[in-house]
Amino acid sequence: MGLMSFLRNRAGLVVTVIGLAIVAFLLGDIINYGTPFWMKNQNQVGSVNGEAMDYQEFNAQVEQTTAMYQQQMGGAASPQIRNYAVQQVWNQFLSQGLLKQEIENIGLTVSKDELNNLVTGSTPSPQIVQAFTNPETGVFDKNQLNNFIAQINTQGTPEMVQQWEMLLANIKSDRLNQKYSNLLANSVYITSLEAENEYTQRNKLANFKYLMLDYSSVKDAEIKLTDADYKAYYDTHKNGFKNPEESRTVQYVLFDARPTANDTAATKSTIDQLKTELINSKTDSLFASINSDNKYPYTYLQKGQVSPALDSVIFNVPVGTTVGPYLSDGAYEIAKVTDATFSPDSVQASHILLNATAEGGVDKASAKADSIKQLILSGENFGGLAIQFSTDEGSKVNGGDLGTFARGQMVPEFDEAVFSGKPGEVKIVNSRFGTHIIKIERQVGNSKIVKAAIVDKTINASKATTDAAYAKANSFFAEASKGDIAEAANKHSVKLDKVDRVVAMDNNFNGVEVSRELVRWIFEAEKGATSDKVYETDQHFVVAKVEKIQPKGLLSLDAVKPNIEAQVRNEVKAKMLTEKLTNALKGASDIDQAAQKLSKSAVAAENIVLANPVLPGVSLEPAVVGTAFGLQPNKLSSPIKGMQGVYAVQVTGFTNPKELVSSELETQKQQLQTSRSQSAWSSIFQALQNNANIDDNRIRFY
């Protein structure tokens, strides 16, 4: 309920791709741990153009981002959430490094006067407006802003000041975002000729016939590829073989350690027995607390607060009924309904929070709370007392107002007080946060709620299941360590899988989760090495082998050779088919005559546009369609090497679109300019990244 929560929930920070980059730049120096210069290199998570990020600073941002994602997703910490946070913080750091010199060279800044105007001026930043909008009226409250600033300047805690500075930094970033976006947008100019050409590409129609000799018409067995064939293709397509970061090709075998049918049956038997005991229990909440894998709060529930299976039942059965078991998300659930009543759907309330420890204990805090309550009941302004006494920095600036919330969003003691009371009542409640003086402002709606003791048992793999899976994996590991992993897989009748491109921060192989420990080993190992042990995840045991190492930069022909075999073969086929088609076109007056020579029929393609170069029923064929639009009607083309084969085309006619009038041309120019401006940022960012010196050491730490 503190300021961090207030700013996070109410500030609604406006963030774009550029904004994220500049935020990281602006906040880059907030955390300074003073690492000695001789430790800098070994503690570096990475560097961009010589600007390094220290692990402690990087990890502090990872922790903060992880906490934010956990709150947004409403779940516990998980490796997936943390990995996502690591990637997000890295992306921000990367953007920071790439943009820093650009911003300095351009000279973009936000002056103090400009920032003050964005905070307290006549047209404040949207972030300020959103953070200080009265929730009841939906109108920006400048008095609320001024009171908050005064409090920051006079009695703001270090945490409050830091959060306020972060908000100001984001406002700066938003302003820099606007300036940089405007700069990019103003650098894009569309001529009338470009606009007309774009319009023509989307609206001019071509009707033509084409003759196709499919690559599949030549059997692969007839093609003998030479080193010269591979080199010719490689030299022509070198730009496509640049590896943006070091990667590995890995062979691996998975051994399934997930729960078996026997494990499921054993869990079902356990929950059935627990149901019998729960039916006869006299201490339902204690029974649930002792026996449930997930400790559900024993409190009143609204529709939608439990699993769909329980939700569809517990609101429709008499009090005292025990329902289930139901299978839900890998667990069996049962529930005993112990009470049912009707309650508001949501409540608006205000509170004053006292720190029991600071007050000298719960008794003294409760006594002080009772005195404050008497002041309220005698007519004292609740908001003024909240500003004077409350330790909840997030709500006190709003006079203690917590807004409107549904059941379950507050701690149980708080919920019970506000949902069971009546509007206008003032109550005192103790919770783990301290002592609350609560005023119930209003209650909305009226729906059935139930109190239920919920017990669940997660279906886990038994020791017998995991031991059996590990025994298989270990036996295979012993065999694979001696020689070839493929031979070992064949001998043990297990499936050998392969992932062609593993990068340092991956956490799965072909969609299956693997441990970060295994990925770290892969990037420490030599080519041809078999894993030094059996690695495990929650559901599998894994044995792996590093088949290939692909360094960062231009990959060698040997490295890409296995991956380009099909394309090289088609290149050779294209030469054969081009010669065949050239002979057929000689002396032919039209495409039908050429087709007859090949015992084929020409195919008609109608209403084709250049902007969408697809041959109906075939595939995307930009070279073929582009050639058609460059031909005069009735003229035969030369052979064209396409995606699916070699083609010849003959245009039968074009349908030109109507000419654009002046206003329509301006509209077309504006649309094209908007599109180009939007793509300008990604193009510039990619160019900066391609030319940057980036060192990524995250795998040493995560």
pLDDT digits (tens, 9 = 90+) for 99-154: 777 777 888 888 999 999 999 888 888 888 877 877 656 678 787 788 888 877 77
Q: What is the pTM of this model?
A: 0.65
Predicted confidence (pLDDT) at residue 21 exceeds the cutoff of 80: no
Predicted confidence (pLDDT) at residue 157 exceeds the cutoff of 90: no
Three-state SS sequence of 596-642: HHCCCCCEEEEEECCCCCEECCCEECHHHHHHHHCCCCCCECCCEEC
According to the model, what pLDDT value does residue 338 have?
A: 94
Predicted confidence (pLDDT) at residue 440 exceeds the cutoff of 60: yes
pLDDT band at 14 (very low <50, low <70, confident <90, very high): very low
The pLDDT of 66-86, averaged and rounded, is: 72
Mention every residue, 6+ apart, whose C-beta is less than 8 A from residue 75. 81
Residue at token pair 């593993």: 502
> Which of 388, 386, 376 is CA-nearest to residue 426?
376
- Burial (0-12, 13-18, 19+ Cβ within 10 Å), 661: exposed
pLDDT band at 38 (very low <50, low <70, confident <90, very high): very low
Q: Which two tokens stand for residue 346?
A: 């949501």
Predicted confidence (pLDDT) at residue 395 exceeds the cutoff of 50: yes
> Which of 500, 473, 505 is CA-nearest to residue 79?
505
Q: What residue ranges define each of the domains in the chain, with the CATH number in brackets? A: 3-186 (no CATH), 205-238+563-655 (3.10.50), 245-258+462-551 (3.10.50.40), 261-343 (no CATH), 346-444 (3.10.50.40)
The pLDDT of 369-379, averaged and rounded, is: 92
Residue 2 phi/psi, 5° resolution?
-85, -175
- Higher pLDDT among residues 561 and 397, named by residue: 561
Average pLDDT, the chain: 86
Question: Could you check whether the bond before residue 325 is cis, i.e. omega within 30 degrees of 0?
Answer: yes
According to the model, what pLDDT value does residue 167 have?
A: 81
Q: Which two tokens stand for residue 388?
A: 């004077």
- Cα separation, 548 vs 561, in Å, equals 12
Residue 224 phi/psi, 5° resolution?
-110, 110
- Higher pLDDT among residues 148 and 581, named by residue: 581
Q: Which two tokens stand for residue 665?
A: 């041309």
DSSP assignment string, 295-309: ----SEE-TTSS-HH
Predicted confidence (pLDDT) at residue 384 exceeds the cutoff of 70: yes
According to the model, what pLDDT value does residue 26 have?
A: 34
According to the model, what pLDDT value does residue 6 have?
A: 35
Residue type, 190: I
Evaluate whether 350 touches 386 at the Cβ level (below 8 Å). yes
Q: 270-284, pLDDT tens digit by residue?
A: 999 999 999 999 999
pLDDT band at 226 (very low <50, low <70, confident <90, very high): very high
